[in-house]
């Protein structure tokens, strides 16, 4: 599955637009990670525990989005975007969305 943020894929021609696909992942903070993040917040610097949590969430959202596009018969997703939102105290959502398409290699 080709997944790009651009509206076109160089060397490929969109043969059919299958429709919009989206997928999300909601993750809550883990107590152990939260304690370490609290220390980092005081000392300053990157909070690697949360960086890892969001990266895992992003990958899961992309995987789910790809599976949905594949089920529609698509072989690519164009115009991919991400939205991150805090939905509750200590929980965040990552939403991935794009347009599922069928592409063919240009001659």
Report pLDDT digits (tens) over 21-56: 999 998 876 655 555 555 555 666 777 777 888 889
Q: Write the pLDDT tens digit of every residue in 87-105.
A: 777 778 899 999 999 999 9
Burial class (CB within 10 angstroms; exposed 0-12, middle 13-18, buried 19+) of 63: middle
List the CATH number of the domain containing 34: 3.30.110.70
pTM: 0.81
Q: Please give the residue range of the domain that contains residue 93.
A: 2-105
Query: What's the structural domain count of the chain?
Result: 1
Q: Which residue has the higher pLDDT, 42 or 15?
A: 15
CA angle 5, 107, 103 (to 5 degrees): 35
Burial class (CB within 10 angstroms; exposed 0-12, middle 13-18, buried 19+) of 74: buried
């Amino acid at each position: 599955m080709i997944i790009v943020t651009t509206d076109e894929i160089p060397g490929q021609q969109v043969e059919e637009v299958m429709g919009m696909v989206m997928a999300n992942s909601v993750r809550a903070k883990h107590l152990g990670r939260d304690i370490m993040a609290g220390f980092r917040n005081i000392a300053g610097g990157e909070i690697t525990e949360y960086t890892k949590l969001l990266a895992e969430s992003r990958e899961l959202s992309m995987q789910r989005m790809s599976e949905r596009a594949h089920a529609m018969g698509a072989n690519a997703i164009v115009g991919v975007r991400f939205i991150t939102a805090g939905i509750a105290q200590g929980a965040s959502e990552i939403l991935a969305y794009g347009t599922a398409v069928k592409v063919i290699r240009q001659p």
